[in-house]
Amino acid sequence: MSQPLCIAIAGLGTVGAGTLRVLQQHGDLLAARAGRPLAVTAVSAKSRTKDRGVSIDDVAWFDDPVAMAREAEADVVIELIGGEDGPAKATCEAALAAGRHVVTANKALLAVNGAGLADAAAQAGKALNFEAAVAGGIPIVKALREGLAGNNITRVYGILNGTCNYILTEMREQRRSFEDVLDEAQRLGYAEAEPSMDVDGIDAGQKLALLSSLAFGSRINFDGVYIEGIRHISLLDIDYAEELGYRIKLLGSAQRTERGLEQRVYPRMVDQRQPIAHVEGAENAVVAIGDFVGNTMFQGAGAGAGPTASAVVADIVDIARDHRTPTLGISAGELESLPEAPIGSHRGPYYVRLMVSDRPGVIADVTAVFRDEAVSIESMIQRARSETEAVPVVLNMHECEEAAMQRALSRIATLDSVVEAPTMIRIESLA
């Protein structure tokens, strides 16, 4: 039991340095938990000399992570380079080909190339662990692969992007616009200079594709994820949501239905009585619903050096203990290719906000369109009046089919008295 597990780390950015720090700081604790010492034997990064607050003096240095994956004295290669292909992919492939286990925090890589990498891991008989790729420090991959293994998972959903949740929370609490909060988040380093991965929902979509595969035993299908981000959410919508008893959250959700596999990321109005409505700031949370266990929720930090490193190290400890679970919970060959349900087949209630010129007939025109599409209105709020400026009209729509809603909105957008593109937010029934 005292043979150390030898570890090579590719990429020493925030997460890589954090992982080194955990391994150095908790050497004894980890040896006790893993039943053997964990020893970092090699690293590879862009700069050998950069000060990262952790020492790399005693380990082998490689300029090329792929060479390291091939040649280093290592049982496990930790890929923390990032990016959906390029050196990250090459490093993982080289490690598996050389008969080494792989741990990665790279959701983009797995969302796009995970199916093939899972096959490669299965062929090599090695682990490909990725706890850190979904919801940071929250051990949700382990929960789905192992802790809830007795269940047919009927649905999985969650707040998968901390930046979006932070922006939505700040907008509501500080009464600030999307642009304002994003600007500040960028200045403080919480959001990227190019924020699209976060605010357009792509990052959440990548994580959802992984959760969905774990939950349903399906092959990863990131292309099948329907994605909308939060750029179109205004403070006005956030206020109306509160008034109507909802909170706006960017959720990713996946479920198997008769129409196919639904994998969807978009902002939703969530009932304020739901626990997930109260997950605020940069936190992440994932709800998994199983046929025996019922609803379980897992909440915690979804990003950051410490939480992400915590997940990476848990994956390493599993390998040290000789725990092997197939990458996606069942053997790669048994993963199903499930058809995707088109977004047009979605059914649910909707919130619609129109900005209209306040003149006679506008409501009649709008309601006529909805009537023509057989979409019925549950309630309407029109409070502000103005002869000069556009005023908001908010409609709560009964459950209907998305395709009909989209047709109605396209026609409404062309009405003279409707002065902005309509805002539509799906109301989520999380029952």
Which sequence positions are flagged as catalytic? 207
Enter the DSSP assignment of 344.
G
Instruction: Verify binding: residue 367, a copy of itself, rule CB under 8 A.
Output: no
Nearest to 79 by CA among 317, 352, 312, 247: 312
Distance CA 321, CA 407 (A): 56
Task: Specify which residues 401 forms β-bridges with.
Answer: 347
Smallest separation, CB 142 to a copy of itself (Å): 5
The Cα 290–Cα 280 span in angstroms is 25
- Binding segment for a copy of itself (CB under 8 A), chosen from 185-193, 290-298, 398-406, 407-415, is 290-298
Q: How far is the CB of 157 from a copy of itself (least distance, A)?
A: 14
Binding string, residues 198-217; x marks residues near a copy of itself by CB under 8 A: -------------------x
66's CB contacts (< 8 A; 6+ apart) are 87, 90, 91, 94
Residue 152 binds a copy of itself (CB under 8 A): yes
Query: Is residue 421 a contact residue for a copy of itself (CB under 8 A)?
Result: no
In the list 77, 108, 134, 148, the residue contacting a copy of itself (rule: CB under 8 A) is 148
What is the rounded CA–CA span in Å between residue 117 and residue 319?
17
Q: Can you point out the beta strands (E) in 222-376? A: 226-227, 246-257, 260-271, 283-290, 294-301, 347-356
Q: Quote the least distance from Cβ 399 to a copy of itself, whole Å.
A: 27
- Of 9, 15, 34, 227, the residue at the interface with a copy of itself (CB under 8 A) is 34
429 phi, psi to nearest 5 deg: -95, 110
Residue placing its CB nearer to a copy of itself in the complex, 229 or 300: 300
CB atoms within 10 A of CB 195: 17
Identified binder of a copy of itself from the candidate list 45, 56, 95, 138, rule CB under 8 A: 138
Residue 179 sits in the site that holds a copy of itself (CB under 8 A): no
Nearest distance from residue 293's CB to a copy of itself, in Å?
A: 4
The reply on whether position 294 binds a copy of itself by CB under 8 A is yes
Binding of residue 173 to a copy of itself (CB under 8 A): no
- Binding segment for a copy of itself (CB under 8 A), chosen from 161-169, 180-188, 292-300, 404-412, is 292-300
List 11, 162, 252, 290, residue binding a copy of itself (CB under 8 A):
290
Q: How far apart are CA 377 and CA 343, in angstroms?
A: 21
Type and span of the H or E element at 378: strand 377-381
Residue with tokens 């939505």: 168
Tokens encoding 15: 């997460």
Question: Interface residues for a copy of itself in 331-350 (CB under 8 A)?
Answer: 331, 334
Question: To the nearest 10°, the Cα dihedral for 60, 62, 66, 67?
Answer: -80
Q: Note whether 150 binds a copy of itself by CB under 8 A.
A: yes
Give the residue, chosen from 297, 363, 380, 390, that forms a contact with a copy of itself under the rule CB under 8 A: 297
Of 213-252, binders to a copy of itself (CB under 8 A) are 217
Stretch that binds a copy of itself, among 155-163, 221-229, 299-307, 373-381 (CB under 8 A): 299-307
Q: What is 47-63 written as a DSSP string? A: -SS---SS--TTSEEES
296 touches a copy of itself by CB under 8 A:
yes
Nearer to a copy of itself, 145 or 346 (CB): 145
CA–CA dist 164, 177 (Å, integer): 13
Q: Is 16 an interacting residue with respect to a copy of itself (CB under 8 A)? A: no
Query: How far is 185 from 193, CA to CA, in rounded Å?
Result: 10
* Spatial separation of the C-alpha atoms in residues 144 and 206, rounded to whole Å: 17
Interface size with a copy of itself, residues (CB under 8 A): 60
**154 touches a copy of itself by CB under 8 A:** no
Q: Which is nearer to a copy of itself, 193 or 431 (CB)?
A: 431
- The C-alpha angle with vertex 97 and arms to 91 and 101, in degrees rounded to 5, equals 70
Identify whether the C-beta of residue 385 lies closer than 8 Å to the C-beta of residue 356.
no
**CB 272 to a copy of itself: min, Å:** 10
Shortest Cβ 27–a copy of itself spacing (Å): 12
- The Cα 124–Cα 332 span in angstroms is 12
CA 244 to CA 395: how far, in whole Å? 11
293 binds a copy of itself (CB under 8 A): yes
Residues within window 105-124 making contact with a copy of itself, judged by CB under 8 A: none
Residues that bind a copy of itself (CB under 8 A): 18, 22, 26, 29-30, 32-35, 131, 137-139, 142-143, 145-152, 217, 275, 278-279, 290-301, 304, 306-307, 309-314, 317-318, 321-326, 329-331, 334
